Chains A and B, each alone.
Chain A
Amino acid sequence: MENHSEKIQDYIEGLLEGEELVMFEAQLVVDKELRNMVALQKEVYDILNKRTPIQDNSVKLKMTLDEVNQRYRDSSNSSRGFIKRWLPIVAAACLLIVGSLFFFQRSDELYELPTMRSEIVRGKTENISYENAVQAFNNGKYEEAGEILSTLLDGAPEQIQYQYYLGLSYIGSKQWSKAIDLLVPIANGPSVFSTESNYYLALAYYEKGDTDSAKMCLNKIPAEGFTGEKADRLRKKMD
């Protein structure tokens, strides 16, 4: 079939004439393979005829597309690069802020004092001074609360409750030594305030720089429960 190639080209290009053309066309009628070859070569010729004249323009368009493509990708990458460059810094800053907030919050949490319980039962106020102390304490006015509680404790030294909240008032007003004096006996005693007293005592020792005593107090606190968790965090902070 390849021997026919030259003749097929001449036929397609209109160079076959006379008897040669008649014979070729007669052969086409009966020879399917020749018809297919002519069709293929014709198609290739048509494609070449169509594409060749615009090939220079195609090459130019391809160059423009390369250029635009590169420019677009560079700009996309640079904006992404900008994000990539700054993202770790921004993320670190966010982490620092969040971490700081968390840390300070948690740190403040360690110093947070419990709510002082009121003695009012069914609307009846038995001890106005005590209730004034409650109000001052719960509003963060620890010095005011301390003064009231100090008076109450002088009047009823057996009341551990007064002693305990007076000790906490000293913690609130950062009078660490006074707090230690009041909380040591409660921490070592059997009262319901013992566990919490050990915690605030540890805090006072820690603030005074006596971490050994602080840790001894913390070790007396059961691990489970809210106070146990706080004790654990304070221990870690000391480490």
Chain B
Amino acid sequence: MHIDQVYIQYLKDNDNKGIQLIYNKYAKQIVTLIKQNSGSEDDGYDILQESLMDIYHMAHERNFVLTTSFGSFLSLVCKRKWLNALKKKQREQVTNNEDELLYVEDKSYMEWEKMLLQVERENHVMEVLGTLGQSCQDIIKRCLVEKQQEKIAESLGISYAYLRKKKSECMSTLIKRVKESNIFKSLK
């Protein structure tokens, strides 16, 4: 385990001072990187923030171990995210060669790549979930967390059958929207 694993822990613990340290140490470097590749300062800070969220989610994988410096890893995640953002926007060509931009001298790169792809898919599902009506979101979340659906139905003042039917409809809508999205078409 790399000594910089402490930065991962700051994110997992939602440690305000630790996260401030991350910003003090790496924000300028990341913002400069994005600005050098057709991005603005705002883009740089957005990418940094989103990347830290992605790292937080990756860190919840049981087999996640930081094998390089946090700076290198954060840089890789940001570069990758920015390239995807550029492709998505299709607004400008990346100034640097893509391979050069993503090049990192670490054997764990392929492993990280898989993890980052997975995080992207997860992010997308959660985004789609957020587009459903509030009642659908509540039902899906409660059914996943609380498990005992009879009690959920009772607390909502509806029958268990109605809850199941409603949950089924909500999940169908969610699956349909996820299936239609490009990320699942292209990455699947």
30 A-B pairs with C-beta separation under 8 A: A2-B176, A5-B171, A5-B172, A5-B175, A40-B184, A40-B188, A41-B171, A44-B174, A44-B175, A44-B178, A47-B121, A48-B125, A48-B129, A48-B140, A49-B144, A51-B125, A53-B145, A54-B60, A57-B14, A58-B53, A58-B56, A58-B57, A62-B53, A67-B16, A68-B20, A69-B23, A69-B45, A72-B23, A72-B24, A72-B27
Residue count of chain A within 8 Å CB distance of chain B: 32
**A48-B129, A52-B145 known; A64+B53 contact, CB < 8 A:** no
Q: Is A117 an interface residue (CB 8 A)?
A: no
**A54-B60, A65-B53, A69-B49 known; A43+B121 contact, CB < 8 A:** yes
A51 touches B126 (CB 8 A): yes
- Interface of chain A, main secondary structure: helix
| Nearest-CB residue, chain B, relative to A72 | B23
Q: Is A208 an interface residue (CB 8 A)?
A: no
A51 to B141 alpha-carbon distance, docked (Å): 10
Chain A contacts for B16, CB-based, 8 A:
64, 67-68
**A43-B121, A51-B126, A72-B20 known; A9+B14 contact, CB < 8 A:** no
**A48-B140, A52-B145, A61-B53 known; A68+B19 contact, CB < 8 A:** yes
A71 to B40 alpha-carbon distance, docked (Å): 19
Q: Please give me the 6 A-B residue pairs with the lowest Cβ-Cβ distance, nearest first.
A: A72-B23, A5-B172, A47-B125, A6-B168, A52-B144, A47-B122
Q: Scan residues 29-65 of chain A and give those whose CB is less than 8 A from a CB of chain B.
A: 40-41, 43-44, 47-55, 57-58, 60-62, 64-65
How many of chain B's residues touch chain A, expressed as a range? Answer: 35 or more
Chain B contacts for A84, CB-based, 8 A:
none
Chain B contacts for A48, CB-based, 8 A:
125, 129, 140-141, 144
A65 touches B52 (CB 8 A): yes
A57 to B56 alpha-carbon distance, docked (Å): 10
Q: Is B35 an interface residue (CB 8 A)?
A: no
Q: Scan residues 169-188 of chain B and give those whose CB is less than 8 A from a CB of chain A.
A: 171-172, 174-176, 178-179, 184, 188
Q: Scan residues 136-188 of chain A and give those whose CB is less than 8 A from a CB of chain B.
A: none
Contact with A along B91-131 (1 / 0, CB 8 A): 00000000000000000000000000000011001100100
Q: Scan residues 143-168 of chain B and give those whose CB is less than 8 A from a CB of chain A.
A: 144-145, 167-168
Chain A contacts for B57, CB-based, 8 A:
51, 58
A64 touches B168 (CB 8 A): no
A49 to B24 alpha-carbon distance, docked (Å): 34
Q: How far is the CB of B9 from chain A (nearest CB, A)?
A: 13
Chain B contacts for A85, CB-based, 8 A:
none
A48 to B14 alpha-carbon distance, docked (Å): 21
Q: Is B66 an interface residue (CB 8 A)?
A: no
A22 to B11 alpha-carbon distance, docked (Å): 46
**A44-B174, A58-B57 known; A73+B168 contact, CB < 8 A:** no
A9 to B173 alpha-carbon distance, docked (Å): 13
Q: Scan residues 129-143 of chain B and give those whose CB is less than 8 A from a CB of chain A.
A: 129, 140-141
A43 to B167 alpha-carbon distance, docked (Å): 17
Q: How far is the CB of B2 from chain A (nearest CB, A)?
A: 21
**A43-B121, A49-B144 known; A61+B45 contact, CB < 8 A:** no
A64 touches B178 (CB 8 A): no
A50 to B144 alpha-carbon distance, docked (Å): 10
**A44-B125, A48-B125 known; A2+B19 contact, CB < 8 A:** no
Chain A contacts for B14, CB-based, 8 A:
57, 60-61, 64
B45 touches A52 (CB 8 A): no
